[in-house]
Amino acid sequence: MRTSERAHRGVELVPLAVTVLSRAEVPLPLGIVDKVGAELDTRLDHRVLDLRKPAVRAVFELRHAVLAGFRHAFTKRGFLEVETPKLLRQGAEGGATLFPVEYFDQRAFLAQSPQLYKQMLIGAGLERVFEIAPAFRAEPSDTVRHITEFTSLDAEMAYIHGAEDLRATLEAIVQETVASVRKDLSEIQNPLSELLPDLSRPFPRIPFETCEEWVGRPGTEVDFGTEEEKTIGVRAEAEFGSPFYFLIDYPTSVKLRTFYAGRSDADPRKTGYFDLGFRGLEIASGGPREHRLAKLTENMVAGGFDPKNFAGYLEAFRFGMPPHGGWGLGIDRIVQMLAGLANIREARLFPRDRYRLDP
């Protein structure tokens, strides 16, 4: 080591010897240190080389900090981290978004979410649980915000008094996690720390009906599309100054196939369900669940499900189930938004989509 006026820190290393441990083939399929960008497909085809870039590594340092922050925030609030099966006989939401799997002499499906098991654990007396695990949706979506294998953070809480208990807990956890990520990244001089918002609570609560008016289709009771979500995000941040916001009071007609969603007794046309948006992207969805067996069975039938196919799940409700609720949050989506990535595939080490199974 010697002093140097040209070096950023005033000193430079002077090597005494260089040993080649392993030679790289040439030419490389994409640049590592040059400024010439490669197409995303090329980068993903040669992901090991792509991950050597400091800017790409920075994304996964952020992702690591996000996961650590969430785990700490949940644990300090008395949540127990759990693991639930990913091979199921039935999906939580059914339909064409299930991946079928040959399971010995039976047919099984890859899990869309741990929803049913979370509720069963509430019935088992585990009053606060969370899980960070892969989930799978066979949606033929070729967009920058959809992938077929994703990481879901799911949580469930017992003895709630309504949706506001859930929203208050979720926003506190998100605020605390983002602050923790900013601190962790600043300490390692990760440039992405500068992108992280300074959040204040409470996040805005925006009724579904208000959002319908914002996008110019009041009273239609149809879920929002991608461009409409973006419009809502821009309007919410302009009016409330917050990048995070809740869409609340979803109509029952929109959540009909979500049979476990609690309906309002005062107005059965509405649920207590909500979405958490982040600058025009839905990153979490949840609400109070239906804990009464008779009403839950009624919701199943109304949504086109046969209760006989959910015998194991329904048994948990036969022996006393407290009022409860929870949410699912997309880790890949929040990493995409915090890191300012154009495509959600950049938020996973080895993404899977409609066409990609390698590497």
| pLDDT tens by residue, 87-117 | 998 776 666 689 999 999 999 999 999 999 9
| Within a domain: 20 | no
Q: Is the pLDDT of residue 32 over 80?
A: no
- Structure confidence at residue 93 (pLDDT): 65
311's CB contacts (< 8 A; 6+ apart) are: none
Distant-in-sequence, close-in-space partners of 123: CB < 8 Å, separation ≥ 6: 316, 317, 319, 320, 321
Q: How far apart are CA 32 and CA 35, in angstroms?
A: 9
Does 1 reside within a domain?
Answer: no
Identify whether 107 is a catalytic site residue: no
C-alpha 97/C-alpha 146 separation (Å) is 13
Distance from CA of residue 120 to its chain's centroid?
Answer: 22
The model's confidence at residue 36, banded by pLDDT at 50, 70 and 90, is: low
Domain residues for the domain of 179 are 41-347
pLDDT for the residue numbered 35:
64
Peptide linkage before 202 cis (omega within 30 of 0): yes
Select which of 131, 228, 229, 282 is catalytic: 282
DSSP H or E stretch at residue 333: helix 331-339
Number of domains in the chain: 1
The residue type found at 77 is: R
The token pair that represents 357 in the structure block: 């199974």
**Which one is catalytic: 128, 137, 167, 345?**
137
| For residue 359, cis peptide bond before it (omega within 30 degrees of 0) | yes
Q: Is 128 a catalytic residue?
A: no
Residue 267 has which token pair? 């107005």
23 in a structural domain: no
Out of 43, 63, 128, 145, which one is annotated catalytic?
A: 145
Task: Identify the active-site residue in 93, 127, 139, 209.
Answer: 139
pLDDT band at 38 (very low <50, low <70, confident <90, very high): confident
Mean of pLDDT values over 73-84? 98
pLDDT for 34 beyond 80: no
Is 113 among the residues known to form the active site? Answer: no
Does the annotation count 201 as an active-site position?
no
Query: Within a domain: residue 265?
Result: yes
Looking up tokens 């440039």, which residue turns up?
Answer: 191
Q: Letter for the amino acid at 266?
A: A
pLDDT top residue among 17 and 93:
17
Residue 47 among the catalytic residues: no
> Phi-psi category of 78—alpha, beta or left, where left has phi over 0 and alpha has psi -120 to 50?
left
Nearest residue to 129 (alpha-carbon basis) of 73, 75, 70: 75
Which residues does 15 contact at the CB level (< 8 Å), separation at least 6? none
CATH code for the domain of 232:
3.30.930.10
d(CA 324, CA 155): 11
Say which of 285, 291, 346, 348 is annotated catalytic: 285
The answer as to whether 176 is a domain residue is: yes
- On whether residue 30 sits in a domain, the answer given is no
The structure's pTM equals 0.92
23 flagged as catalytic: no
Catalytic annotation present for 171: no
Q: What is the mean pLDDT of residues 287-316?
A: 94
**Which pLDDT does position 268 carry in this prediction?**
86
Is 174 within a domain?
Answer: yes
DSSP state of 177: H
- With cut-offs at 50, 70 and 90, classify the pLDDT of residue 30: confident
Q: How many CB atoms lie within 10 A of CB 104?
A: 6
Is 353 contained in some domain? no
CA-based nearest residue to 176, from 77, 81, 276: 77
